[in-house]
Amino acid sequence: MDDLALQFRGTPTGDAFVATWLASGQIIDRGHGPGTDNTPPVSPVV
C-alpha cells in the first residue's frame, strides 16, 4: 500500500496525504498505557 500511496505526490495536497499515510504506520511509544483506575463497568439502564 505504501507504494500505491506514493503515486499521489506532486501536489501540496498529495504530499500532505503521503506524509500522513507514512506517519500512520509508525508506532510511537509515549511511555504510558491505560490508567490504573479500576472502576467496574456501568450497568445498562433497563
Q: 24-46 burial, b if ≥16 CB within 10 A, otherwise e?
A: eeeeeeeeeeeeeeeeeeeeeee
- Residue 2 within any structural domain of the chain: yes
- Residue 8 within any structural domain of the chain: yes
Q: Which residues contact 14 (CB under 8 A, 6 or more apart)?
A: 8
- Residue 5 within any structural domain of the chain: yes
- Per-residue pLDDT at 13: 92
Q: What share of the chain is helix, strand, coil (3-state, %, to 5)?
A: 45, 0, 55
pLDDT tens sequence for the chain (46 residues): 777 888 889 999 999 999 998 888 887 777 766 666 677 778 888 7
- The number of domains in the chain is 1
- Residue 9 within any structural domain of the chain: yes
Residue 13 lies in domain:
1-25
- Residue 31 within any structural domain of the chain: no
d(CA 20, CA 24): 6
- Residue 16 within any structural domain of the chain: yes
